[in-house]
Amino acid sequence: MAEHDFRYTLLNPQHTLTECRAIAPGQYQVTGQGGSIKTGDTLQVTLKGSKTLSMRLHVSKVRHLINPPGQWTAVATGPVFKELAIHNWQVQCDGCNSLLALEFAVDASLGNAAKHTAAEQRLVELGWSERDGRHLCRACTASEA
């Protein structure tokens, strides 16, 4: 099946999302324009309140609307958040002192303990590593390997 990219950074008026809202934990209703969406496709959408974070949604049902032409509504499954929170932290590399503005998402209903785990997961996604309590950027991680 096809993958459709609806992140804000693409800003294409013929291929846009009108709405993406949670209807239950892990289930979303998505309304958009263009893209020829079909059941089984994957949608990549920007998280509300985020500049860089996105999530993948898998379309389980889609309905194409007659008016306006090209508009559709889909039901999709994706990450389960009871209460989504976006956080911004700054992380300094302990090898070269470079600074990273880290943006990450966490389920706020899990409490403060989940923030650290979510931040560490996001760092790994960005190519950083943690060794003995030290954070190392991509370049320093590669040089120590």
Residue 119 and residue 68 share a domain: no
Go through the chain and tell me how many residues it has. Answer: 145
Ranges of residues in the chain with a pLDDT under 70 are 9-14, 145
- Report d(CA 43, CA 58) in Å as an integer: 6
Residue 96: predicted pLDDT: 93
Sequence-distant (≥ 6) Cβ neighbours of residue 13 within 8 angstroms = none
Residue span of the structural domain in which 130 resides: 84-144
Residue 113 and residue 70 share a domain: no
Cβ distance 120 to 135 under 8 Å? Answer: no
Residue 68 and residue 26 share a domain: yes
* Domain stop point among 77, 94, 115: 77
Number of domains in the chain: 2
Residue 91 and residue 49 share a domain: no
Residue 69 and residue 8 share a domain: yes
- Report d(CA 95, CA 127) in Å as an integer: 14
Residue 134: predicted pLDDT: 87
* Domain stop point among 77, 107, 122: 77
Sequence-distant (≥ 6) Cβ neighbours of residue 113 within 8 angstroms = none
Residue 95 and residue 55 share a domain: no
Residue 41: predicted pLDDT: 94
Short-list 17, 15, 8, 80, CA closest to 49: 8
* Domain stop point among 77, 95, 123: 77
Short-list 74, 105, 79, CA closest to 2: 74
Residue 61 and residue 12 share a domain: yes
Residue 101: predicted pLDDT: 93
Residue 23: predicted pLDDT: 92
